[in-house]
Chain A
Amino acid sequence: MSSTVYERVSTILVENFGVEADKISADATFEDLDLDSLDLVEFSLAAEEELGVRIEDEEAEALGTLGDAVKLLEDKGATPGEG
């Protein structure tokens, strides 16, 4: 079954950062998810490795919510994939 970029990002957050699945929503900010600037660095790397899309530092800093991150990744060409 294919999964959306949103689902793939959610999986990264749950598996790599121990975020509780029920806290995840498009409106959640990274602060809501208890991700600090160091986590955001790691999130960018993980997203790049999992989705093949590079998030520049400046872009990562400007991200408000999880929905923003998904939109950025989609705009940059991340596609729904297996997983």
Chain B
Amino acid sequence: MLLADKRLVITGVLNEQSIAFSVARLAQEAGAQVVLTGFGRGLRITERIARRLPDPPPVLELDVTEPAHHRALAADLEERWGAVDGVVHAVAFAPETALGGDFLDTSWDDVATALRVSTYSFAELSATLTPLLRAAGGGSVVGLDFDATRAWPAYDWMGVAKAGLEATARYVARDLGPQGTRVNLVAAGPLRTVAAKGIEGFADIERSWGEQAPLGWDVTDAEPVARTVCALLSDWLPATTGMVVHADGGAHAIGAPTPPAS
């Protein structure tokens, strides 16, 4: 099986629409052992939703902005497994003022929060798990991205945070490469997750995606993105790091929606 005996830490499972939920489900079906993390009030929800996975996994508390949580996570995983083969970073947050159209009227404090949670945490979580990844012979870190090479309606400072995430992933790839750790992002097409629905105006992005993507796009199906994440967690992309892999139906490659050939 693709992920037989892989020991995976998966953040960002909130409900069944979460990309990370699909990752956890597919990973378990492919033979992986999984630990989830949850945060704040979301922790209770993650605990509930964990029971809906094929093999209900443990849920550990991780507020990425709490150094003590990072230490506790590393200590738990050290005792539980002694090594970690894969990490899924599916964490992002921006205050409402930083999303939805008032780009030029967002305070630094709100922007800082978005960058703290959505960008810096990728490096921080990677650092937390570096020794455990090394113990597994390198392992794979995968983060969730939304193509940050272009500006989007409504996405605003989260777009800036994702641009930072893309750069951060390259630097983490640089620094963890020598120990064999691969570090990559999956740039997803728009999906109707709880996170996306929190963004007023995100529907404008959704609308044209299916027309622009040569393979088409279903905004309600996270599985294509989750399968891509699982591929990166597997041993089958062994020379790939510092990469943004697009799981978007191909929309990023096309300049404008193309009518079907008559």
Contact = CB atoms under 8 A, between A and B. Distances in A.
- Note whether A and B form a binding pair: yes
Interface of A: 37-39, 41-42, 44-46, 49, 57, 61
Which 8 residue pairs across A and B have the least CB separation, nearest first? Answer: A42-B45, A45-B48, A41-B15, A41-B194, A38-B41, A41-B45, A57-B17, A38-B42
Contacts of B14: 41
14 contacts: A37-B194, A37-B197, A38-B41, A38-B45, A41-B14, A41-B15, A42-B44, A42-B45, A42-B48, A45-B15, A49-B48, A57-B15, A57-B192, A57-B197
Contacts, number: 29
A17 B14 CA distance: 17
B48 A46 contact: yes
B194 A57 contact: yes
Contacts of B194: 37-38, 41, 57
Contacts of B17: 57
A contacts with B: majority SS: helix
Given A42-B41, A45-B15, A57-B194, 8 more contacts: A41-B14, A41-B15, A42-B48, A45-B48, A45-B49, A57-B17, A57-B197, A61-B197
B198 interface: yes
Interface string B194-233: 1001100000000000000000000000000000000000
A42 B44 CA distance: 8
A54 to B, nearest CB: 10
A39 B14 CA distance: 11
Contacts of A37: 194, 197-198
Interface string B35-75: 00000011011001100000000000000000000000000
Q: Which of B42, B45, B49, B192 has the most CB of A within 10 A?
A: B45
Nearest to A42: B45
Contacts of B48: 42, 45-46, 49
A57 to B, nearest CB: 6
A39 B194 CA distance: 11
A57 B220 CA distance: 11
B49 to A, nearest CB: 7
Contacts of B45: 38, 41-42, 45
